[in-house]
Amino acid sequence: MTGADRLRELVAELLAAHDPATTPRLEFLRARFDAGLAWVHFPAGLGGLDAPRSLQAVVDAELAAAGAPDNDPRRIGIGLGMAAPTILRFGSEENKRRFLRPLWTGEEVWCQLFSEPGAGSDLAALGTRAVRDGDDWVVTGQKVWTSSAHTARWAILVARTDPDVPKHQGMTYFVCDMTAPGVEVRPLRQITGEAEFNEVFLTEVCIPDAHRLGEVGEGWKVAQTTLMNERVAIGGSAVPREGGMVGVVASAWRDRPELRTPELHDRLLRLWVEAESVRLAGVRLRQQLAAGQPGPEGSAMKLAFAELSQKLAGLEVEFLGEDGLRYDDWTMRRPEIVDFTGREAGYRYLRAKGNSIEGGTSEILRNIIAERVLGLPAEPRVDKDVAWKDLPR
């Protein structure tokens, strides 16, 4: 029996024991996790079966055909794409068993406390302090641009634990309870009118040392796992041919023949070809992921995704003319999910501006690609060996 056949057999057993038509959604998702069919490449007992990552598609297809509920991955994307692989690699066995199951089922939403007002692109310059107090750490500082902080139960957090060493060496990585005393979440209203992002203030927040991921002072190393997975999650997700933004723009083109011009036609064709190239590069990236950990290639995918989204959004607004400028919903909303394809062209145009910032700015990603993929000389870094406390701010 092949690996795929064995997985189909396990799916059949799950469906026989938990009929999706009659089993409550959360009960079914918990049963799926316990059967090892959540992430088949994860270890047994942690939602997986130690199977090849490529076989996850077999499980997903069988369950979708049976009408089984999914875990609403768009709502819990930070947990699935960033927190889970980091916890799996650096968390204690206790942490893995405590956090991974409710993370995957969506019972607990996660957010990411990385960027700060003075440390966005240069994450290693962060100043949020964590001071050891027996078996706990006391954390004080401010984080910003935090998606889902207003709905999150837990956060992945990087803080400064040693200001006397160079900035990359003095950070430590934690899991932070977003309901703990001292955590304050404030909305940040964006150009779209929504408050999808937040600023988070941490005032003497107590975090047990048991919630530390990785060794003290190795926060930068742990954060790299998160960031590489984040860029894959943003730019490397599977989409069908003519899916996503290019499908929306192509549909508008087909529906409004009276607005077509030769110049816009040429631009749309070029962007369609670019979108197909990005899609196929994503297929190759996921094949590489099936064989190991994500590398800097994810940065290239995220960069390509951001630039393509912005160009497509701009073309759509230009094509639609007055209709493209209309934006009906300007209310102060606190969305859990960013919906690109289900909104007006004006919303897509405004929201796409953030694609080149979130998940690593395009400028930083170009540096990563230049140095780690192309092997070009690194940019001069005069602060590399200077203690963080001595850096100008």
In tens, the pLDDT along 147-188 reads: 999 999 999 999 999 999 999 999 999 999 999 999 999 999
pTM for the model:
0.87
Catalytic residues: 230
Helix and strand numbers, DSSP H then E, in the chain: 13, 8
Q: Tell me which residue range forms the domain holding 57.
A: 1-70
Return d(Cα 86, Cα 220) in angstroms, integer. Answer: 12
Instruction: Write out residues in the chain with pLDDT < 70, as ranges.
Output: 1-2, 230-238, 288-296, 330-331
Amino acid 334: pLDDT: 81
Radius of gyration of the chain (CA): 22
Amino acid 68: pLDDT: 97
Amino acid 229: pLDDT: 72
* Residue 46 placed within a domain: yes
* Residue 153 placed within a domain: no
* Residue 256 placed within a domain: yes
Q: 54, 70, 86 — which closes off a domain? A: 70
* Residue 328 placed within a domain: yes
- Which strand (E) or helix (H) includes residue 370? none
Amino acid 129: pLDDT: 98
Helix/strand/coil for 364: helix
* Residue 364 placed within a domain: yes
Q: Could you tell me the two tokens for 328? A: 């009906």
* Residue 5 placed within a domain: yes
Cβ–Cβ < 8 Å for 293, 316: no
Return d(Cα 187, Cα 199) in angstroms, integer. Answer: 6
Amino acid 22: pLDDT: 96
* Residue 144 placed within a domain: no
Helix 297-320 and helix 245-255: axis angle, to 10°?
Answer: 20
Which of 160, 171, 168 minimizes the C-alpha distance to 130?
A: 160
* Residue 214 placed within a domain: no
Phi-psi region of 242 (alpha: psi -120 to 50; beta: other; left: phi over 0): left
Residue indicated by tokens 């002072």:
217
Q: How many domains does the chain have?
A: 2
Return d(Cα 326, Cα 348) in angstroms, integer. Answer: 11
Return d(Cα 30, Cα 104) in angstroms, integer. Answer: 9
